[in-house]
Structure 1
Amino acid sequence: MKPKDPNAPYQLHGVNISYFTGKLEAYLRYKDIPHEHVNGYNLGKVFFHTGIKKMPAIETAQRQWLYDTTPTIQWFETVYPDISITPKNKALGFISLLLEDYGDEWLWRPAMWWRWMPPVSRRALGTQIMRGALGAPALWWYFAQRQSREWLWGDGMTQANSDAVRDMYFEELEFLEAVFAKQPFILGSHPSAADFGYFASMFRHFGNDPDPAEVMRAQAPHTYAWLARLWDTKARDLGAAQKWVFPKGAHWTPLLDRIANDYLPYLQANSQAYRDGKKRFDFKGKNHSFPRTKTTYYRIWCLEVLQREYRALNARERDRVNKLFAPVGKISKILTARSISADMDDLYDLPKASLKGSHIKLSSPRGWRLGAQPRN
Structure 2
Amino acid sequence: MYILYGSEVSLYTGKIRAYLKYKQLPFTEVLSTVSVYKKIIRPKTGVTFIPVVKTPTGEYLQDTARIIDYFEAQTRENTQSNIQPIADSNHLSVVPTTSAQHLVSELFALWGDEWLVIPAMHYRWNKDNFPFIYEEFGQVVTPKAPKFIKAYFGKKLAKKFQGFVPLLGITEKSIPYIEDWYENTVLHYLNEHFATHKYLLGDKPCTGDFGLLGPLYAHLYRDPVPEQLMDKIAPNVAAWVKRMNNPNTAQQANTSASNDTDTPASTPAFLENDEIPATLLPLLKDMFTQQWPVLKNTSEALTDWREKNASSENTLRFIPRTIGQHSFKIGRGETGYIGEQRFISSFHQYKLQRVLDVFNSIEQPRPELTKLLEEVGGLEYMRLDVKDRVAIERNRLVFE
TM-score w.r.t. length of structure 1: 0.82
1:137 paired with 2:151, answer yes
Give the conservation status (yes or no) of the 8 Å contact 1:116–1:122. no
Higher alpha-carbon deviation: 22-31 or 261-270: 261-270
Give the conservation status (yes or no) of the 8 Å contact 2:330–2:338. yes
Residue 22 (structure 2) aligned to one of 25, 30, 33 = 30
Per the alignment, in what secondary structure is the counterpart of residue 160 of structure 1? Answer: coil
Assess, with a 3 A threshold, how the Cα gap between structure 1 residues 146 and 168 changes in structure 2: closer, same or farther.
farther
Assess, with a 3 A threshold, how the Cα gap between structure 1 residues 321 and 263 changes in structure 2: closer, same or farther.
farther
Give the conservation status (yes or no) of the 8 Å contact 2:6–2:31. yes
Residue 74 (structure 1) aligned to one of 69, 73, 90 = 69
**CA apart distance, 1:134:** 4.4
**Cα RMSD (Å) of the superposition?**
2.3
Give the conservation status (yes or no) of the 8 Å contact 1:11–1:60. yes
TM-score w.r.t. length of structure 2: 0.78
Partner of 1:165: 178
Matches within 5 A, 1:1-376: 9-41=1-33, 42-44=36-38, 45-81=40-76, 82-83=90-91, 84-119=93-128, 121-134=129-142, 136-150=150-164, 152-170=165-183, 171-234=185-248, 240=267, 242-244=269-271, 246-249=275-278, 251-277=279-305, 278-284=323-329, 287=332, 291-317=340-366, 319-329=367-377, 331-347=378-394
The AA in structure 2 aligned to 1:160 is K
Question: What is the rounded CA distance, in whole Å, between the counterparts of 1:92 and 1:182 in structure 2?
Answer: 17
**CA apart distance, 1:253:** 3.6
Assess, with a 3 A threshold, how the Cα gap between structure 1 residues 342 and 54 changes in structure 2: closer, same or farther.
farther
Question: What is the rounded CA distance, in whole Å, between the counterparts of 1:271 and 1:289 in structure 2?
Answer: 22
Give the conservation status (yes or no) of the 8 Å contact 2:138–2:155. no
Question: What is the rounded CA distance, in whole Å, between the counterparts of 2:284 and 2:179 in structure 1?
Answer: 20
Aligned length: 336
1:29-57 C-alpha deviation (Å, 9 max, x unpaired) = 11110110012232222111011211000
Assess, with a 3 A threshold, how the Cα gap between structure 1 residues 26 and 259 changes in structure 2: closer, same or farther.
same
1:134-177 C-alpha deviation (Å, 9 max, x unpaired) = 46421444444432322x22332222111222334312111111
Partner of 1:352: none
Higher alpha-carbon deviation: 233-242 or 135-144: 233-242
**CA apart distance, 1:189:** 1.1
Question: What is the rounded CA distance, in whole Å, between the counterparts of 1:271 and 1:242 in structure 2?
Answer: 35
Where in structure 2 are there 5+ consecutive unaligned residues?
77-89, 144-149, 255-265, 306-322
Higher alpha-carbon deviation: 251-260 or 264-273: 251-260
Question: What is the rounded CA distance, in whole Å, between the counterparts of 2:369 and 2:131 in structure 1?
Answer: 44
Question: What is the rounded CA distance, in whole Å, between the counterparts of 1:125 and 1:173 in structure 2?
Answer: 23
Per the alignment, in what secondary structure is the counterpart of residue 279 of structure 1? Answer: strand
1:220-257 C-alpha deviation (Å, 9 max, x unpaired) = 111111111122114986764514162333x4343122
The AA in structure 1 aligned to 2:200 is I
**CA apart distance, 1:293:** 1.0
Give the conservation status (yes or no) of the 8 Å contact 1:100–1:193. yes
Question: What is the rounded CA distance, in whole Å, between the counterparts of 1:342 and 1:297 in structure 2?
Answer: 11
Percent identity at matched positions?
Answer: 24
**CA apart distance, 1:348:** 6.3
Per the alignment, in what secondary structure is the counterpart of residue 294 of structure 1? Answer: strand
Question: What is the rounded CA distance, in whole Å, between the counterparts of 1:73 and 1:186 in structure 2?
Answer: 17
Give the conservation status (yes or no) of the 8 Å contact 2:303–2:387. yes
**CA apart distance, 1:290:** 5.4
Give the conservation status (yes or no) of the 8 Å contact 1:102–1:197. yes
The AA in structure 2 aligned to 1:309 is V
Q: Which has the larger radius of gyration?
A: 2
Where in structure 1 are there 5+ consecutive unaligned residues?
1-8, 350-376
Assess, with a 3 A threshold, how the Cα gap between structure 1 residues 64 and 289 changes in structure 2: closer, same or farther.
farther
Assess, with a 3 A threshold, how the Cα gap between structure 1 residues 123 and 153 changes in structure 2: closer, same or farther.
farther
Assess, with a 3 A threshold, how the Cα gap between structure 1 residues 267 and 53 changes in structure 2: closer, same or farther.
same
Give the conservation status (yes or no) of the 8 Å contact 1:13–1:39. yes
Question: What is the rounded CA distance, in whole Å, between the counterparts of 1:174 and 1:258 in structure 2?
Answer: 13
The AA in structure 1 aligned to 2:43 is F
